[in-house]
């Protein structure tokens, strides 16, 4: 199954989740996500996400020389980014709980009668 | 910003091949040069980091380089394309501005009394300029399309092959333009008179407006590009020249004293040598030194006669512009290096005085 649509939905939040832990840079974010299980994630997918987050003002960047020489962008979370991340986490938990119930077949009679609201 | 081109030579094997393709593809993409430089710096850093860890390049780019480049550029939007558009036209607006002065000088040459505000000029210059701009933009667009679609799938792609595409497209377009001109001459023989005239000052205001708009939009990029060039050359000085400054200065000192000894003159002490070099360097750092060269040099190039003052002014103007650009490109990085050398020499002088 092509999981790119699912990935698109959560990637911004996950990238913010890495940056929220402390100042970091592109390759490190890629490695953290890869080690966490996003095995097929490429730099090509990550870079536009970082650009979008920066444009939205959710992350800020500082430029410094990397140990290899070229200029490296170090990202850190902004105040609005922190707020966005908290909201994202709350929404994500609500959606995963709800979808978990459906996918695992845990719907009770009470859920069915609750005006369709899960 | 420091140019990534200083570091991508550290890439090897599959990383080098993939990076060259990406460089060519991104270079043919319609995003402004500052964003492009920033993107390529990030990619160079990622590639170098992954290469160091011994990861296969496909872990970073996937199997399809074209798709990877397309994905990477998808984060850029209207703003980057808009700036790139103005960046493309900026050099042409200068040419347009200079061209608007030609009829003015032609009238002066005829010794006719010129009322600047009522003088009408042919609108051909403006129409020609707009047509030329659209033509150049379409050419660039076509060349970039060819590079992105055809060349990226070749096994090996270099920036030279991309440049060759641009040259070929330009040649074909000039050929087509020649055919169009010959055909139009054949269809409308002897119809060379312009039918549209506008006040000269209007044409100059329009051209100056275009110069100002293009410069305002691309101001930040222009500065970054200069900084980037300065960084590249400065780094060269740092890594190869400045590091061995002690050695170079000592050789220079020996050479100078050998010369003086041959002439039978008294030798310089270290302190005198530093003082002499500092004095010479302070003169060379002065920008006036370069401005005078730029203004005077074209006079030495005059080896043939001119039909009139217009021809002379155009020749002289073009010479100054070309020379000015070259000198600026030399002066900016050289000044940085000279200041470092000056600081080093002054430091040496102070320490030799205290001894």
Ordered per-residue pLDDT tens for chain B, 355 residues: 556 777 777 888 888 888 888 888 888 888 888 888 888 888 888 889 888 888 888 888 888 888 888 888 887 877 888 888 888 888 888 888 887 777 777 776 666 666 777 777 777 777 777 787 888 888 888 888 887 777 666 666 666 777 777 788 778 877 887 777 777 777 666 655 666 777 778 888 888 888 888 888 777 666 655 555 555 555 555 555 555 677 778 888 888 888 888 888 888 888 888 888 888 888 877 777 777 777 776 666 655 566 666 777 777 777 777 777 877 777 777 787 788 788 878 887 887 766 5
d(CA B349, CA B353): 6
Q: Give the domain CATH number at A98.
A: 1.10.10.10
Q: Does A117 map to a domain?
A: no
Q: Does A35 map to a domain?
A: yes
Task: List chain B residues with CB under 8 Å of A61.
Answer: none
Instruction: Say whether A48 and B48 touch across the interface (CB within 8 A).
Output: no
Nearest Cα of chain A lies from the Cα of B146 at a distance, in angstroms, of 22
Instruction: Say whether B6 and A69 touch across the interface (CB within 8 A).
Output: yes
Task: List chain B residues with CB under 8 Å of A59.
Answer: none
Q: Does A97 map to a domain?
A: yes
**What is the architecture of the domain spanning B1-76?**
Orthogonal Bundle (1.10)
Q: Of the candidates B10, B38, B61, which has its C-beta nearest A42's C-beta?
A: B61
Residue ranges covered by each domain of chain B: 1-76, 227-354
Domain that includes residue A76, residue range: 10-106
Best CA proximity match to A50, nearest among B22, B76, B282, B170: B76
Domain count, chain A: 1
Secondary structure of chain B as H, E, C letters: CCCHHHCHHHCCHHHHHHHHHHHHHHHCCCCCHHHHHHHHHHHHHHHHHHHHHCCCCHHHHCCCHHHHHHHHHCCCCHHHHHHHHHHHHHHHHHHHHHHCCHHHHHHHHCCCCCCCCCCEEECHHHHHHHHHHHHHHHHHHHHHHHHHHCHHHCCCCCHHHHHHHHHHHHHHHHHHHHHHHHHHHHHCCCCCCCCCEEEHHHHHHHHHHHHHHHHHHCHHHHHHHHHHHHHHHHHHHHHHHHHHHHHHHHHHHHHHHHHHHHHCCCCCCHHHHHHHHHHHHHHHHCHHHHHHHHHHHHHHHCCCCCCCHHHHHHHHHHHHHHHHHHHHHHHHHHHHHHHHHHHHHHHHHHHHHHC
What is the average per-residue pLDDT within A104-108? 72
Contact call for residues B323 and B294 (beta carbons, < 8 A):
yes
pLDDT at A118 (0 to 100): 47
Q: Does A96 map to a domain?
A: yes
pLDDT at A19 (0 to 100): 92
Q: Does A116 map to a domain?
A: no
**Tens digits of per-residue pLDDT, A51-80?**
888 888 999 888 888 888 788 889 999 999
User: Torsion over CA of B330, B336, B339 and B341, rounded to 10 degrees?
Assistant: -80
Q: Is the dihedral of CA B263, B265, B269, B270 positive or negative?
A: negative
Instruction: Say whether A44 and B67 touch across the interface (CB within 8 A).
Output: yes
ipTM of the complex: 0.80
Q: Does A115 map to a domain?
A: no
């Amino acid at each position: 199954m092509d999981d790119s649509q699912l990935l698109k939905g959560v990637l911004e939040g996950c990238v913010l989740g890495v940056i929220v832990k402390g100042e970091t840079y592109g390759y490190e974010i890629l490695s953290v996500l890869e080690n966490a299980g996003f095995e097929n994630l490429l730099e090509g997918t990550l870079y536009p996400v970082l650009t979008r987050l920066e444009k939205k003002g959710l992350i800020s960047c500082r430029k410094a020389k990397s140990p290899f020489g070229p200029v490296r962008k170090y990202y850190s979370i902004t105040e609005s980014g922190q707020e966005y991340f908290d909201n994202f986490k709350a929404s994500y938990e609500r959606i995963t709980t709800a979808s978990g119930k459906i996918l695992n077949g845990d719907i009770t009679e009470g859920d069915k009668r609750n005006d369709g609201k899960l | 910003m420091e140019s990534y081109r200083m570091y991508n030579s550290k890439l090897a094997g599959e990383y080098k091949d993939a990076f060259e393709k990406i460089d060519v593809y991104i270079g043919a993409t319609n995003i402004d040069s500052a964003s492009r430089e920033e993107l390529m710096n990030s990619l160079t850093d990622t590639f170098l980091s992954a290469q160091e860890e011994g990861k296969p390049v496909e872990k970073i780019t996937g199997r399809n380089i074209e798709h990877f480049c397309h994905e990477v550029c998808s984060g850029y939007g209207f703003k980057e394309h808009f700036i790139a558009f103005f960046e493309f036209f900026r050099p042409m607006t200068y040419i347009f501005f200079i061209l608007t002065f030609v009829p003015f000088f032609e009238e002066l040459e005829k010794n006719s009394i010129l009322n600047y505000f009522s003088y009408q000029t042919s609108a051909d210059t403006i129409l020609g300029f707009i047509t030329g701009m659209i033509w150049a933009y379409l050419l660039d667009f076509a060349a970039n399309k060819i590079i992105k679609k055809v060349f990226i799938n070749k096994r090996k792609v270099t920036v030279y092959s991309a440049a060759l595409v641009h040259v070929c497209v330009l040649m074909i377009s000039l050929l087509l333009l020649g055919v169009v001109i010959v055909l139009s001459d054949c269809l409308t023989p002897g119809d060379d008179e312009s039918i549209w005239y506008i006040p000269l000052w209007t044409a100059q205001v329009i051209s100056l407006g275009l110069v100002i708009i293009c410069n305002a939009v691309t101001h930040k990029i222009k500065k970054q590009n200069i900084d980037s060039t300065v960084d590249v050359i400065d780094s060269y000085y740092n890594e190869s020249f400045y590091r061995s400054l002690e050695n170079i200065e000592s050789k220079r000192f020996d050479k100078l004293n050998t010369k003086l000894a041959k002439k039978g003159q008294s030798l310089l002490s270290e302190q005198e040598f530093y003082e002499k070099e500092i004095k010479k360097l302070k003169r060379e750092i002065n920008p006036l030194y370069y401005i005078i060269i730029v203004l005077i040099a074209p006079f030495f190039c005059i080896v043939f006669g001119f039909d009139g003052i217009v021809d002379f002014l155009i020749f002289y103007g073009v010479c100054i512009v070309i020379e000015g650009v070259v000198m600026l490109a030399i002066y900016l990085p050289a000044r940085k290096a000279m200041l470092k050398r000056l600081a080093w020499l002054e430091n040496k002088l102070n320490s030799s005085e205290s001894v």
